[in-house]
Amino acid sequence: MSAAPAVTINPRVSEFVKSPKLLLIGGKWMPAKSGRTFETINPATEEVLANVAEADAADVDEAVKAARRAFEEGKWSAMRPADRARFLFKIAELIEANAAELAQLETLDNGKAINESKNIDIPMAAETFRYYAGWVTKIYGETNPSSPDMFSYTLREPVGVCGQIIPWNFPLLMASWKLAPALACGNVSILKPAEQTPLTALRLGELMLEAGLPEGVVNILPGFGPGAGSAIAAHPGIDKVAFTGSTEVGREIMKAASGNLKRVSLELGGKSPNIIFPDADMKSAAFGALMGVFLNQGQVCCAGTRVFVQQEKYDQFTDQLSQLAQNMKIGDPLDTSTRVGPLVSKEQFDRVTSYLDIGRKEGAKVKTGGEAGGQGKGYFVKPTVFADVNNSMRIAREEIFGPVAATIAFKDENDAVFQGNDTTYGLAAAVWTRDISRAHAVARKLKAGTVWVNCYGMLDPISPFGGYKQSGFGRELGKYAIELYTEIKSVFVKL
């Protein structure tokens, strides 16, 4: 593994990285009012990629004014839906036209393997815009069977100015999950990317201007949580806040949003159970468990970090999973043969490696990994499989957000469901079995927003995504995101 990228960077990517990184407010790029900037780092080399304008409360205020103006003028919300749809289709096309560049940019800023940026993040971002472009012309009200002397109907209207705060694990994709449905419904947005990964959101801002989006409809404000983020959550001029990130910050957002009773939707953490019954196709289950926990270095909210295996197959399965994990190639994330890149930041590296010690101290056994994976610079951690874990250990209860699998034995179906549900989270779950009745029965019993059967991590813009319990509330994607971004109005007309 070499610290310096061996792969050539697309000249357009280098040019973009070198260009000034400003805030997008009211259709114009501008420095932060405070004049402050922060560094974004390449986590594979620990080198500074760019200095980025750091928004704080004053800039959020400015963005709210611009967004409010755009909303009230109706340049977007009152546009003929078929015309509004064209913009979303155009944004999808521009993402695709710039896909190679966006994939490299994402990998430079976040550290994820280029194959993932290229095959997952960027195409799914384009697909999300295209999916919601289709919705723009299909958001209906209803006529209601009221009294004979009344004509009663409902209108579905945009909520207004939306504050959207996103994490660093899927930067462009999370931006698209937030922006595409909000825009489809006629809302305007103030988007705050995570401080660790602001670059693709800024590039998306450029593409949106290229698509001709009216000024003020999308405002992009990189900055820190306690600065720009908390100002968005608390601002009385913002009508709705949508947040993806940690459960702790989700709680803060709810408190801050209570001032003006903003609509709130939260997509938070998880500790998802991946349950493997002995009748499953063990080869696919092992591969599914591997991808379920190690994709994006485990920095995935719905990662299957608790791998439950029925007692009689436990040793065999944990051996198989450990072998696969050990064979994953760690290295320069820009190299197409790399499977495991660095974690996003020093902070995540410290957090994840501290859990490796916690797991050992709790008595779990390291089957593979268990240590840092770099030979020089970069925040690399080896894919780690812990065996002999029980569900009450901290490594089975707390979201580690790194490449760490906790494998846990179970006795029978009831025990699997009981242990699977014995968590404060409820974002996702999976079950592997060839028994069709058991598959559906267990899917019903698991308290999670998404359940996968004989696969892991499938996402599609047509299917809702979100959490039970402390994994949040509200459902993104599918028709459910239309609910998140609209108000319903009843109209009565005396006949």
Phi-psi region of 129 (alpha: psi -120 to 50; beta: other; left: phi over 0): alpha
Total H helices, total E strands in the chain = 17, 20
SS3 for 273? strand
CB of 33 vs Mg ion, minimal distance in Å: 23
Residue 249 binding target from Mg ion, ligand NAP, none, CB below 5 to 8 Å by type? ligand NAP
> Shortest CA distance to 22 belongs to which of 13, 14, 12, 32?
32
- Report if residue 196 touches Mg ion, rule: CB under 5 A: yes
> Shortest CA distance to 215 belongs to which of 183, 182, 175, 188?
188
DSSP string, 424-470: S--SEEEEE-S-HHHHHHHHHHS-SSEEEESS-----TTS-B--SGG
Amino acid letter, 215: E
What's the distance, Cα to Cα, between the start and end of the chain in Å? 77
Closer residue to Mg ion, CB minimum distance, 171 or 288? 171
Q: How many residues bind Mg ion (CB under 5 A)?
A: 4
The footprint of Mg ion on residues 81-110 (CB under 5 A) is 109
Closer residue to ligand NAP, CB minimum distance, 285 or 302? 302
> Any bridge partners for residue 255, and if so which?
none
Active-site residue, selected from the candidate residues 116, 301, 399, 413: 301
Angstrom distance (rounded) from CA 72 to CA 489? 17
Q: Is 195 marked active-site?
A: no
Closer residue to ligand NAP, CB minimum distance, 413 or 476? 476
Judged by CB under 6 A, the residue of 226, 259, 363, 376 near ligand NAP is 226
Angstrom distance (rounded) from CA 216 to CA 345? 32
- Report if residue 424 touches ligand NAP, rule: CB under 6 A: no
CB of 379 vs ligand NAP, minimal distance in Å: 13
Torsional sign, CA 394, 349, 298, 2: negative
Closer residue to ligand NAP, CB minimum distance, 186 or 292? 292
- Report if residue 401 touches ligand NAP, rule: CB under 6 A: yes
- Report if residue 161 touches ligand NAP, rule: CB under 6 A: no
Asked if 85 contacts 211 with a C-beta cutoff of 8 angstroms, the reply is: no
Residue 109 binding target from ligand NAP, Mg ion, none, CB below 5 to 8 Å by type? Mg ion
Closer residue to ligand NAP, CB minimum distance, 233 or 307? 233
Judged by CB under 5 A, the residue of 24, 32, 40, 466 near Mg ion is 40
CB of 54 vs ligand NAP, minimal distance in Å: 10
Closer residue to ligand NAP, CB minimum distance, 185 or 249? 249
Q: How many CB atoms lie within 10 A of CB 226?
A: 11
- Report if residue 169 touches ligand NAP, rule: CB under 6 A: yes
Q: Is 162 marked active-site?
A: no
Residue with tokens 């409902």: 154
- Report if residue 175 touches ligand NAP, rule: CB under 6 A: no
The footprint of ligand NAP on residues 232-251 (CB under 6 A) is 233, 244-246, 249
Residue 301 binding target from Mg ion, ligand NAP, none, CB below 5 to 8 Å by type? ligand NAP
**Helix intervals (H) in 48-170:** 57-73, 81-97, 99-110, 114-116, 122-135
Active-site residue, selected from the candidate residues 267, 399, 413, 476: 267
Could you tell me which stretch among 28-36, 161-169, 328-336, 405-413 binds ligand NAP (CB under 6 A)? Answer: 161-169
- Report if residue 403 touches ligand NAP, rule: CB under 6 A: no
Angle subtended by helix axes 199-210 and 11-18, to nearest 10: 100
- Report if residue 167 touches ligand NAP, rule: CB under 6 A: yes
Angstrom distance (rounded) from CA 245 to CA 178? 13
Could you tell me which stretch among 61-69, 143-151, 162-170, 211-219 binds ligand NAP (CB under 6 A)? Answer: 162-170
Q: How many residues bind ligand NAP (CB under 6 A)?
A: 26
Q: What is the largest CA-CA distance in the chain?
A: 79
**Residues of the shown chain interacting with ligand NAP in the complex, contacts defined by CB under 6 A:** 165-169, 192, 194-195, 224-226, 229-230, 233, 244-246, 249, 252-253, 268-269, 301, 351, 399, 401
| Residues involved in catalysis | 267, 301
Residues at the interface with Mg ion (CB under 5 A): 40-41, 109, 196
